[in-house]
Amino acid sequence: NKNFTLAVVPGDGIGPEVTTEALKVLDAVAAQHGVTFERTEYDLGAKRWHATGETLPDTELEEIRKHDAILLGAVGDPSVPSGVLERGLLLKLRFTLDHYVNLRPSKIYPSVGSPLANPGEVDFVVVREGTEGPYIGNGGALRVGTPAEIATEVSVNTAYGVERVVRDAFARAQARPRKKLTLVHKNNVLVHAGHLWTRTVDKVKADFPEIAVDYLHVDAATIFLVTDPARFDVIVTDNLFGDILTDLAAAITGGIGLAASGNINPDRTAPSMFEPVHGSAPDIAGQQKADPTAAILSAALLLEHLGLAEAAKAIEDAVTADIEERTGSVRTTAEVGDAIAKRAAG
């Protein structure tokens, strides 16, 4: 019986609601697969910030670092200035723990609704760079609030950072049956970063001769995600493009309530972190209206990362079965969690 330690950050809005269900399902499968999860919950987010002014103190970050994995709900609240929690909590975790692979799988489950009339067989994964790009905070503002205001957000792309995520994406493509990789960027305009990405893919390609590689500008990629999403297998892209594309990917594959993600540190120098792609959804928070499936599938990604593939599959199968029986009748967040947990427990 193996024990894993889990840092849990429920966060804001629907974060705590969906995290409760993910933990419920995790516990339901753990027993069968001979593992236990020792959980420590971290009270971080809007409430904490209002009470103490803290987003994520370094001492707590170092405690979180000691765990085997992190499960996060969502962060961000209308009562806190935009960016304070997103940068000070979520991005601080991703950057400090070197989550350079932001893994976001998308597939259309049998019988799931898509707004696309005829989407075809959609099953792809976005490997979104997680530690660089325009997210890094390299910018500033001058003469704020005056007609002469200047605001900059400089995208940072390092050869080291680009190559490691590109290599990871190629390795993932290699492990998938279709063996295809699409680089998405905007190298016709963002020529400095774009050409670094393109050259890196060209170089790494030599080590993966079986992989078919293509390239799309990000604007065209949004067309194909709607007109022909089945063409994609592995997409590798920059931090911001990946953010935008994965909300679109969620929308065409059953909705944001199903989209799971892993912030992976492939070198395992720090724990990886698993969270739904969606945010704190203030418009439905506290009403038991949120779909917890994305959080539950994120827990499955967590299990897979810890080497518990069978337990992960038990969750995926339970989710697939639950989705197949969704009739459109409204269930509460907890009811969905209960139903999936019951199935997952066998």
Annotated binding site for substrate: 94, 104, 128, 219
Q: Which option in ligand IPM, ligand NAD, Mn ion, none does residue 91 bind, with CB closer than 5 to 8 A by kind? A: ligand IPM
CB 187 within 8 A of CB 198: yes
Q: How far is the CB of 85 from ligand NAD (least distance, A)?
A: 7
Cβ–Cβ under 8 Å, residues 245 and 218: yes
Which C-beta is closer to ligand NAD: that of 193 or that of 285?
Answer: 285
Residue type present at position 281? A
Q: Is 283 a residue that touches ligand NAD (CB under 6 A)?
A: yes
Pairing of strands 139-142, 180-185: unpaired
According to the binding rule CB under 6 A, does residue 75 interact with ligand NAD?
A: yes
Supply angle C-alpha 79, 81, 85, rounded to 5: 95
240 scored as a contact of ligand NAD (CB under 6 A) = no
List residues forming the annotated binding site for Mg(2+).
219, 243, 247
Q: Which residues are catalytic?
A: 135, 186, 219, 243, 247
DSSP 86: I
Longest dimension (CA), the chain: 65
The answer to the question of residue 277 lying near ligand IPM (CB under 6 A) is yes
Which residues in the 242-261 window bind Mn ion by CB under 5 A? 243
CB atoms within 10 A of CB 138: 13
Q: Is 284 in the site for ligand NAD (CB under 6 A)?
A: yes
Return the exposure string of 163-187: e unless at least 16 CB atoms fall within 10 Å of the residue's CB, then b: bbbbbbbbbbbeeeeebbbbbbbbb
Among 27, 86, 163, 338, binds ligand IPM (CB under 6 A): 86
Minimum distance between the CB of residue 73 and ligand NAD, rounded to whole angstroms?
A: 7
Rg value, the chain, Cα: 20
* Residues in touch with ligand IPM (CB under 6 A): 76, 86, 90-91, 243, 277, 279
* Residues in touch with ligand NAD (CB under 6 A): 14, 18, 74-76, 86, 90, 256-257, 275, 278-284, 290-291, 294
